[in-house]
Chain A
Amino acid sequence: MSKLEAKHLGIRFGGLQAVKDFNLTMESGELVAIIGPNGAGKTTTFNMLTGMYLPTEGELALDDISMVGKMPYEINEMGLSRTFQNIRLFSSLSVMENIRIAMKREAKYSFFEALFRTKKYKLAEKQINEEAMELLKLFEMEDVAGLQAKNLPYGEQRKLEIIRALAGKPKILLLDEPAAGMNPTEIEEVMGIIAKVRKMYDVSILLIEHHMSMVMKIADRIFVLDFGETIAEGTPEEIQGNPKVIEAYLGKGGADEDE
């Protein structure tokens, strides 16, 4: 059972406190969502969790092993895997190759074993290919396995990013706006994928999303960020009724006008 823990996490860019006093404890199998207006510090939080930014204050640990100061690839090896808000696929490589890259930990052979194609190399590669294909089949992408990633339709690219993040068998999956720029049918599909991931894999999910309806439906717990501060935390029901949240989204007085 894995546990992600952030205590008083914060980051400061020069004079700007981008995120302040962020506290999160995630238990295994949970789906936690982070919401908030644009510029609230959601992606910055993600970047701190995945080692892309070095937090200037606070602690961060996975299963009681500190993650602060670790490089992004080390954090990925510890079991955190992410997607990106602006899609970052290996765009001129094939879909299959994208998945295979993410499965590099399965490739347990040395450089020279690869150059001379030993039995060990062949077995490992066979296994990687089979597993990658299985994964693609599970998400109904096997017929595009040979396509260049950049040639996929937008929605499929987002999907591929999620699958790629899953391919490394992470303990925690971080999804940065997986439904950005999608229409309601596509959002429906993304929700289906997330549900499938939760069912098939023992993985906790941390999600940034703007589509309220989606977040309210699938999240176990929600964090609301505004100007880098956590202004509310709780179950979807609790959040929906929280006046602070409404104020953050609609501005002061917005809540009154609604009534």
Chain B
Amino acid sequence: MKTVRKIFKPEYFIFLLIYLVIVGLNKMGLINAYLFQVITIAGINVIMTISLNLVIGITGQFSMGHAGFMSIGAYISAIVSRLAFQVLERTALTDNLILLAAVVAGGIIAAVFGFIIAMPTLKVKGDYLAIVTLGFGEIIRAVWRVVDYTGGALGFSGIPKLTNFTWVFIILLIAIYASRNFIKSSFGRSCLAVRENDIAAEAMGVNCRNYKVLAFVFAAFMAGVAGGLYAHLIQFIQPDNFSAAKSTDYIVYLYAGGVGTISGSIFGAVVLTILPELLRFLNDWRLVIYALLLLYIIIWKPYGLFGGREFKFLNLETIEATDSKLRKWIRRRLRRKKEEAKS
């Protein structure tokens, strides 16, 4: 029985259910093509936010240029698929295989850039790191503007539509699990140590620099994959799609959902991607509401909308949520000690 439960964990059914419901509603026409596209983009945004969480939430390094890695993934994968379809016929099989290859290639190249950028960048700390990463994002964008092969500032058009909701959903699940397993390993723990106290981490044998680079490279890979999915969904990319504003979007998703937690990243990205669409009836005012909501969350909800909790299936420690409970527990214990001392 136990092994059966181990193999068929309830979460798998929930994922399947979510998937079937969304696809089913779409087939029935209750979710129109536009909203379906928005949901797919929300999935890509979740991957981006989870990836950003590894750098900001887990390792405590502030990055403001995450869209830069996404753009590398998007452009590289678009180049790969363009080259591939110059020699291959388009069939259902080649479509999926090429997408996979393109997306992985985009991820790998983004990771390589993550490494190249991380090495000098991580010399600077804190606020300066934010500035330098912002700079790298903008520099990458400037480079795409002058590369003729990818259309320069006008953009890269004619990318085949290979991404679909199923692909995004599968890769999203892989991202969630990979990120969870990372956090629950010695590698993730070392990154947490860097976030908490880099001097103590170093004294406990954690090579801070290496772990910062590791987090950066891992996150860049994920962002690159997300970029590849995005390019093959939207079919047209241009450098200005990946501006600093895009990077700040992900920071906003992360903080709104709950920085440091995977569940918060998922929640924040989904809600804040879909919310502006639902507020469309407010026309221009929707962005004002959106901004006010963001301010409300950041001031009054320090652990984000998801309150620093984690979905149970992730099986992660969440101390923030149980914080108050534990305080009470301590107080009780101290009282007991006092009584012991009295008697």
Contact = CB atoms under 8 A, between A and B. Distances in A.
A/B touching: CB–CB < 8 A: yes
A152 B329 CA distance: 11
Interface in B207-222: 207-208, 214
Contact of A164 (B178, B186, B204, B319): B204
Interface in B185-214: 185-190, 192-193, 196-197, 199-208, 214
Contact of B187 (A81, A102, A111, A165): A111
A151 interface: yes
Given A147-B326, A151-B323, A73 B202 contact: yes
Contact of B203 (A76, A97, A111): A76
A104 B323 contact: no
A111 B192 CA distance: 16
A90 B326 contact: no
Q: DSSP class of A's interface residues: helix, strand, loop or mixed?
A: mixed
A168 B330 CA distance: 28
B26 interface: no
B166 interface: no
Interface string A100-118: 1110110101010011110
Contacts of B214: 111
A97 B189 contact: yes
Contacts of B320: 92
Interface string B127-162: 000000000000000000000000000000000000
A82 interface: yes
Closest 8 CB pairs of A and B: A107-B186, A114-B185, A90-B196, A76-B205, A88-B200, A72-B202, A148-B319, A101-B193
B289 interface: no
Interface residues of A, number: 42
B317 interface: yes
A52 B181 CA distance: 32
B236 interface: no
B334 interface: yes
A76 B186 contact: no
Contacts of B335: none
Contacts of B326: 146-148, 151
Contact of B185 (A77, A121, A153): A121
Contact of B207 (A73, A88, A109): A73
B334 A102 contact: no
Nearest to B178: A115
A84 B205 CA distance: 15
A230 to B, nearest CB: 24
B2 interface: no
A101 B197 contact: no
15 contacts: A71-B207, A72-B203, A73-B203, A81-B204, A90-B197, A90-B200, A93-B193, A97-B317, A101-B190, A101-B193, A105-B205, A107-B186, A125-B184, A146-B326, A147-B330
